[in-house]
Structure 1
Amino acid sequence: MFRIGAHVSISGGVAKAVDREREVGGNCGQIFVGSPRGWAVSEVDEDDADAFVEAAGAQDVGPWIVHGTYLVNLATPKDDLAAKSLDTVQAELDAAAALDIPYYVFHPGAHTGAGEETGIQNVGERLSELDVPAGVTLLLENTAGKGTTVGTHFADLDQMVAVSAHDYDDLGVCLDTCHLYAAGYDFTTEAGMAEMIEDLDATIGVENVHYLHLNDSKHPLGSEKDEHEHLGEGEIGEEGFRRFINHAALREKPMVLETPEDEKGYAWNVEKARELRDEE
């Protein structure tokens, strides 16, 4: 089954996310467990968690994924920011476990002048300090490359895992299409797609990619700019997404949208993804 959904709100209780997902036509989904631009992580109410698990099961919506706050930076050379980031990531991981959500994803962060190699090393070492709960896989998200962010290339993400005391039993990767394209991975052509998958398999391993973010890009290939567009209406285009979501190495992985929330909205993008999906 094609698992496609969108990022939805938990306002009023996390259990309400299931109905919101169904309203946009999704059958898997992504949530925050706190403000995306703050450090506080919402305490999981046991009754609300039970209601969420029950509703998700009854309506066959899943797998779900928790997205970490944007403030997290494990690549930073600043010890105080790293400590705050680790506390927040741990709380978000624990919230995912309490909600029986199998995946948690976050952006590795930026080295802010310390150097890319140092930033990657910092991420790996700090991952080692996390207690990844049983039943949850922590996913590193690839980045577009703007500024001093780390994790732009597959080999960088793989190196973070190699440095960490954890391995691919606890860790994995979530690939974002806008970030891939902005970083210079041109999967819009047959040759480019084949080259990207070959690179992916030689580093991270396709089997260690657990989730996909579907977002078109407002900016050209290699721009290093992270600005999302509706599916098919950006630089990647319809054929690029048709190639991506139907590729044998990727088509069985769950996919969620983080496209603009304007007059088109998520429902339009979910339907577009279904239109581009080849039948089994």
Structure 2
Amino acid sequence: MLRVGAHVSIADGYPDAVEHEGELGGNCGQIFVGSPRGWAVSDVDDAEAEAFREAAADRDVRPWIVHGTYLINLATPKDDLAAKSLDCLQAELDAAAALDIPYYVFHPGAHTGAGEETGIENVGNRLSDLEVPDGVTVLLENTAGKGTTVGRRLAHLDEMVAVSDHSYDDIGVCLDTCHLFAAGYDFTDDASMADLIDEIRDTVGIEHIHYLHLNDSKHPLGSEKDEHEHIGEGEIGDEGFRRFVTHDALCEKPMVLETPVDEKGYAWNIDRVRDLRTEE
């Protein structure tokens, strides 16, 4: 069964986020548990958590994923920023656990001049300080590679896990299509799609890809620019997305859209993904 949804707001409360997802036509979803550009994490009381769980079960909207705040930077050479990032990340993880949300994804961060290898090691070492709640898997998101961000290569994500005291039992990967394309991973023809799948198998492993972010790219292959476009209307295009969302190795992974919010909106993009799945 295709599980596809979109990022929705918790402004009206966690239970209403499920209703909003259903209105878009989604059957899985993503939320923040605080401001995406702040450090504060919203409280989750027992009653609201229960209402969220019941709404998700009643509508069969699953699995959910929590996206970490954009301020988190585990790659940083600054100890104070790293400590603040870990405190926030732990609080967001605990909120996911309180809501019975099985996945939590975050961007690894930027080394800001300390060097890529140092940044990768910093991420792995700091992952070791996390207490991952039972029932939650932490997902590293691949990056577009802009500036000094780390995680643009799949092998780098694999190295972060290897450096940490955790294993793939606690940590996995969320693949973002725009980030992949911007970082130089092509999947717009059969040969390049096969190469991408081979590289996934040789690094993080298909079985450790738990979630997909579907976003087209405003910029060309290898641009390292992270600007999302509507599905099929960017540089990846319909054919690239058709290959991606129908590939045997990926088609059963839950998929969430982070496409632009404008006149088309998430519902249009959800329908487009479903159309691509049936237009083979």
Q: How does 1:27-66 map to 2 (within 5 A)?
A: 27-66=27-66
Match of 1:237 in 2: 237
Match of 1:85 in 2: 85
Distance 1:90 1:279 in 2: 42
Q: Given the alignment of the two structures, is residue 112 of structure 1 paired with residue 112 of structure 2, yes or no?
A: yes
Match of 1:198 in 2: 198
* TM-score using structure 2 length: 0.99
Q: Given the alignment of the two structures, is residue 162 of structure 1 paired with residue 162 of structure 2, yes or no?
A: yes
Match of 2:257 in 1: 257
Task: Report the 3-state secondary structure (helix = DSSP H, G, I; strand = E; otherwise coil) of the residue aligned with 1:15.
Answer: helix
Task: Quote how far apart the aligned CAs of 1:122 are.
Answer: 0.1
Match of 2:125 in 1: 125
1:84 maps to amino acid: K
Q: More displaced, 9-18 or 86-95? A: 9-18
Task: Quote how far apart the aligned CAs of 1:96 are.
Answer: 0.2
Q: Given the alignment of the two structures, is residue 211 of structure 1 paired with residue 211 of structure 2, yes or no?
A: yes
Q: Which runs of 5+ in 2 are unaligned?
A: none
What are the Cα deviations for residues 40-63 of structure 1, in whole angstroms up to 9, with x where unaligned? Answer: 000102111100000000110000
Query: Number of matched residues?
Result: 280
Assess if the C-alpha contact under 8 Å between 1:246 and 1:278 holds in 2: no
Q: Which runs of 5+ in 1 are unaligned?
A: none
Match of 1:17 in 2: 17
Distance 1:10 1:71 in 2: 19
Assess if the C-alpha contact under 8 Å between 1:65 and 1:104 holds in 2: yes
Match of 2:267 in 1: 267
What are the Cα deviations for residues 141-183 of structure 1, in whole angstroms up to 9, with x where unaligned? Answer: 0000000000000100000000000000000000000000000
Distance 2:171 2:186 in 1: 26
2:130 maps to amino acid: L
Distance 1:189 1:120 in 2: 31
1:184 maps to amino acid: G
Task: Report the 3-state secondary structure (helix = DSSP H, G, I; strand = E; otherwise coil) of the residue aligned with 2:256.
Answer: strand
Large movers: runs of 4+ above 3 Å = none
Distance 1:179 1:216 in 2: 9
Task: Quote how far apart the aligned CAs of 1:278 are.
Answer: 3.3
Distance 1:72 1:262 in 2: 27
2:199 maps to amino acid: D
What are the Cα deviations for residues 89-145 of structure 1, in whole angstroms up to 9, with x where unaligned? Answer: 000000000000000000000000000000000000000000000000000000000
Q: How does 1:125-144 map to 2 (within 5 A)?
A: 125-144=125-144
Query: What is the RMSD computed on CA atoms of the aligned residues?
Result: 0.9
Residue identity over aligned pairs, in percent, reads 76
What are the Cα deviations for residues 237-262 of structure 1, in whole angstroms up to 9, with x where unaligned? Answer: 00110000000000000000000000
Task: Quote how far apart the aligned CAs of 1:279 are.
Answer: 8.0
Distance 2:199 2:175 in 1: 13
